[in-house]
């Protein structure tokens, strides 16, 4: 009876998770989709706590309450600009949990195998499942445990490094140790040898050594990926965490964990592929830590960056009929989305056509700009993806770039030696006038110089984005 209830609850939870994932494809359905996910997770946890073998449910409830309280405090303190770092940190915890659960499964298996038949007959829960496994099933379990720990360990250290790069605590440049990819390949090959040894009965030392190797692989992989690829890295680590959860689901014989892990793993992999395509990056190159690259010096940039004040920008906006705003991470850092929303409202009230152009990898996280604009109540119908709006720039009077660099960089098309050569970008330089809101003359997070800033129709609107946009508001007629 208990197994039947748990299975039924897991099926309903799985359906809710699928509905949640499907709903996230649209901005208007995303909020409802989040509630589907919350309901599904709540049902899954409740079914697990009251299901078979849940003798420690009180301790579980206390731990869930403690974790929930910590999560609540962290969520209250984290700014929207810090969401990418938070997501990376959450991925690291998923990976570490997979490592701990894998070790626990190994210890339980060893304990059960040391018992006599009478003692095994009295076992409950996961231990009882282990007691009924035959020789072949034990081998399969060992493979599942090994893979779960390996993927979890790679995810943990990889996510920690991604967090450091996103938070500015680790250099965003691609960095490899002497030996480069050969080190990763050697560590992976040695891990494969350890797998064969572990499956054939070697002790826990093989798991420990493999975990250390996987920690190194995760660290070295992400260190070898530059800041320009960080949005793909976050999505990729999301996929890794899903596959780690699925592997542990097999180890624990938990169907829902397998389903959820597969959903997260596959959706993260698909999103990573889509983002790589949007950046003209090789998917294999990115996930293996930055294979390839440019072979020659970058093109020299002629001209100078010409500054403009708020009055000049406001005058151009008042004279314009069509305006496109291109937001980037600089808008998030300055928390300028509310001011940008108010500017949009005033321009539209003046009868001007205002739209937003969103690049697939704008910001530090997939959909980062969409979330910020939705938070600021910018209408969904004027927020357009790159493919929908790119051909409209030649017929646009004014483009305002707020804190973007790589996604509006013409070097992607003009310089074959640029690190972003071939990457599809928003062709803002084709508009009549371009104003770039930027803190200073630096190259930004990825360290790539941008010829856009030196073009004749571009003016640099220096200063904090929130303050700069706010200065424009009273000047708009």
Catalytic residue numbers?
406
Q: Report the SS3 class of residue 209.
A: helix
Question: Which residue has 């152009």 as its token pair?
Answer: 357
* DSSP element (H, E) containing 111: helix 83-113
Cα distance between the two ends of the chain: 71
Q: Do residues 465 and 403 touch, judged by C-beta distance below 8 A? A: yes
Closest CA to 157 of 215, 104, 86: 215
**Cα–Cα–Cα angle for 236, 370, 237, nearest 5°?**
10
From the number of C-beta atoms within 10 Å of its C-beta (0-12, 13-18, 19+), residue 476 rates as middle
C-beta of residue 326 within 8 angstroms of C-beta of residue 399: yes
Q: Which sign, positive or negative, has the C-alpha torsion 150, 151, 153, 158?
A: positive
DSSP-assigned states of every residue in 363-430: SSSTTHHHHHHHHTT--GGGEEEHHHHGGGGGG-SEEEEES--GGG-THHHH-TTSTTTT-----GGG
């Amino acid at each position: 009876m208990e197994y039947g209830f748990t299975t039924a609850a897991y099926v309903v939870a799985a359906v809710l998770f699928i509905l949640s994932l499907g709903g996230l494809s649209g901005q208007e359905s995303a909020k409802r989709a989040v509630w589907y996910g919350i309901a599904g997770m709540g049902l899954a946890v409740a079914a697990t706590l009251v299901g078979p073998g849940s003798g420690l449910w009180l301790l579980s409830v206390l731990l869930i309450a403690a974790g929930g309280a910590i999560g609540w405090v962290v969520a209250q303190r984290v700014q929207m600009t810090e969401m990418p770092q938070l997501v990376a940190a959450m991925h690291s915890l998923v990976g570490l949990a997979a490592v701990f659960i894998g070790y626990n499964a190994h210890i339980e298996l060893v304990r059960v195998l040391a018992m006599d038949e009478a003692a095994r007959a009295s076992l409950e829960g996961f231990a009882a499942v282990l007691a009924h496994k035959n020789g072949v099933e034990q081998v399969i379990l060992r493979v599942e445990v090994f893979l779960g720990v390996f993927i979890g360990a790679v995810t943990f250290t990889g996510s920690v490094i991604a967090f450091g790069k996103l938070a500015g605590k680790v250099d965003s440049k691609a960095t490899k140790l002497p030996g480069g990819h050969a080190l990763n390949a050697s560590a992976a090959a040695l891990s494969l040898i350890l797998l064969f040894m572990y499956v054939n009965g070697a002790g826990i030392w093989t798991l420990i050594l493999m975990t250390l190797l996987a920690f190194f692989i995760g660290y070295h992989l992400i260190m070898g990926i530059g800041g320009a690829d960080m949005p793909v890295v976050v999505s990729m680590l999301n996929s890794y965490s899903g596959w780690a959860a699925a592997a542990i689901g097999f180890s624990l014989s938990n169907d829902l964990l397998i389903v959820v892990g597969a959903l997260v793993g596959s959706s993260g992999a698909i999103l990573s592929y889509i983002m790589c395509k949007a950046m003209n990056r090789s998917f294999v190159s990115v996930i293996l830590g930055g294979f390839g690259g440019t072979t020659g010096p970058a093109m020299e940039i002629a001209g100078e960056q010409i500054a403009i004040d708020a009055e000049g920008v406001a005058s151009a906006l008042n004279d314009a009929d069509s305006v496109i705003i291109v937001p980037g991470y600089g808008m998030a850092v300055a928390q300028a989305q509310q001011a940008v929303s108010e500017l949009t409202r005033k321009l539209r009230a003046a009868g001007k056509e205002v739209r937003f152009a969103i690049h697939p990898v704008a910001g530090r996280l997939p959909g980062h700009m969409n979330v910020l604009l939705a938070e600021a109540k910018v209408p969904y119908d004027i927020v357009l993806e790159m493919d929908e709006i790119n051909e409209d720039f030649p017929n646009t009077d004014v483009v305002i770039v707020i804190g973007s660099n790589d996604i509006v960089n013409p070097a992607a098309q003009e310089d074959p030696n640029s690190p972003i050569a071939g990457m599809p970008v928003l062709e803002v330089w084709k508009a009549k006038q371009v104003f770039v809101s930027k803190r200073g003359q630096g190259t930004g997070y990825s360290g790539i110089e941008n010829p856009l800033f030196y073009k004749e129709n571009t003016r640099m609107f220096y200063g904090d984005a929130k303050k700069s946009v706010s200065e424009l508001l009273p000047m708009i007629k």
